[in-house]
Amino acid sequence: MDSFVKGLEDEEEQDSSEEETEDISARRAIDAPVAELYLPSLPKHFRRPILVHREPSEFHKAKDDCLRCIHNALLQSQWQRAAELMVSYLELLESTNWARQREGSEEIWKIGTEIMQQHPESSVQEASHFADRMKNLGVIKYLKVSLEHAFHLLCNGFLEEAYQDLSLAESWRYGELSLAQEKERKLIQGYRGLLDYYKWLKKRTDMLEHDEDSYARTSVQQEVDRLYQQAKDCLKEIIKIPGVWDPFVTCYVDMLEHYEEFEEARETLHEYAYNSKFPSNPNAHVFFYQFLKRRGEPKKAQISALQILHELVPSHELMLEFYTMLSKSDKNKHHKKCLKVIFSVLDFAGWKENVKAWHCLAKQIVEILQNPDKQLDWLRKEWSARKDWWPSFHFSLHLAKQNWQENEDLVYEKTLVAGILLGKDSKYSKYIIQQSNKARKKNIKPLKKFLKEHSWVSLRLSDV
């Protein structure tokens, strides 16, 4: 609701900046710039049109004050007070000016809908009646009103009513005004397709309850196929339009895979992820990768999909899968890449205490130290970009105490990493080793030995 009220406030600010008149032609005459006076000796910066402004009338001041009171009531969830103020506001909106009437009808729709949907004594039937009145009050917003009302019905469990409302809106025609709302029509068609998809899923479940050769199962199968075709036709249209259509795409692909139309599903997901006309969308690459994985596509294609996801969202949860896939490769460039991937993951606070991520980094560092002549430069490059902020971000004394109390598995992974990257200057490693010695932890001895043998690494990493 906050975004709704904010939109109303923005509209109010826009209204207050415009000249309030009762006649469009009069407003144009008043706001028109006075003819520029030309004097040869007059500097250019003095030659500018002069705008004549009128003070808002008492009528318009009263209207704005009433609207402001309604906004405050909405913000404080005072639905009864907002409803009472709406009655007064409607009386103030009587105007012969077409532009003001149009703005007024939109304000009535937005504010009235919010009140009707949130008021504790309001019913779905009353909200439906109000929505029907709003459709006829302002046909310019007919499809938007229909779509919002369908959402309200769905939120209250009236699936069939919402479906009928969307179907009716989809068939609505009103001359040029219906053509101007073509985008809204496509959106309504898409949501009707989602409801068809939901019905299709339900019918599929119902079909399992009947015997395979029974007449009832055959009848349900025909209904399932009909719903599939309806949903497919609707969803296919909406996902052609450049935009972010995640739920529409996933439902469409799910149906295609069920009917083993894998090639069309692959083309759809590829287009959604790689078409330059569509906005950048990390989820599109997630959907494409998951499809490739389900179909057992070559690792090269899967790596390619995850590579783009890494560039868009380096902290994505699939990055550990990406790391594992790269680490199993025989190519050096993939091993270099997997080091970058795991470092990038741990740059984000959401991964700070993820044991698996720290285990991957510790394991990668150990493997690099087994072949330091060729791979130590990779580690130096990644660490040089982080050496100024990782110590306080990951390896502070405060975090060492906290991690020691909360997660023993985590501290030993981090101790190895901190000991290698920071060497003897690591407060984190010193504290964990001291506490482990006091607690007589057996697993600390091989760790201490490993860090002592590789104490030279931190010096090498600090070399420019």
Helix, strand and coil content of the chain, in percent to the nearest 5, comes to: 75, 0, 25
pLDDT tens readout for residues 178-189: 666 788 889 999
pLDDT of residue 93: 55
Please tell me the distance from the alpha carbon of residue 368 to that of residue 94, in angstroms, as a whole number. 78
158 in a structural domain: no
52 in a structural domain: yes
CB 395 within 8 A of CB 410: no
pLDDT of residue 60: 59
332 in a structural domain: no
95 in a structural domain: yes
pLDDT tens readout for residues 349-358: 999 999 999 9
pLDDT of residue 284: 98
Is pLDDT at 20 greater than 50 in this prediction? no
Residue with tokens 């001291």: 434
Please tell me the distance from the alpha carbon of residue 54 to that of residue 31, in angstroms, as a whole number. 9
395 in a structural domain: yes
269 in a structural domain: no
Neighbours of 275 (CB within 10 A): 10
54 in a structural domain: yes
pLDDT of residue 433: 92
**126 pLDDT tier (thresholds 50, 70, 90):** confident
Higher local confidence (pLDDT), 35 or 115: 115
pLDDT of residue 49: 46
Mean pLDDT of the chain: 81
Query: In this predicted structure, which of 79-93, 134-148, 337-351 has the lowest mean pLDDT?
Result: 79-93
Which of 88, 122, 156 is a domain's end point? Answer: 122
**378 pLDDT tier (thresholds 50, 70, 90):** very high
Domain ranges, residue 81: 1-122
**234 pLDDT tier (thresholds 50, 70, 90):** very high
Higher local confidence (pLDDT), 446 or 126: 446
pLDDT of residue 52: 46
401 in a structural domain: yes
Which of 90, 122, 154 is a domain's end point? Answer: 122
Which of 122, 146, 181 is a domain's end point? Answer: 122
Is pLDDT at 18 greater than 60 in this prediction? no
Residue 402, helix vs strand vs coil = helix
Looking at the structure of the chain, the number of domains it has is 2
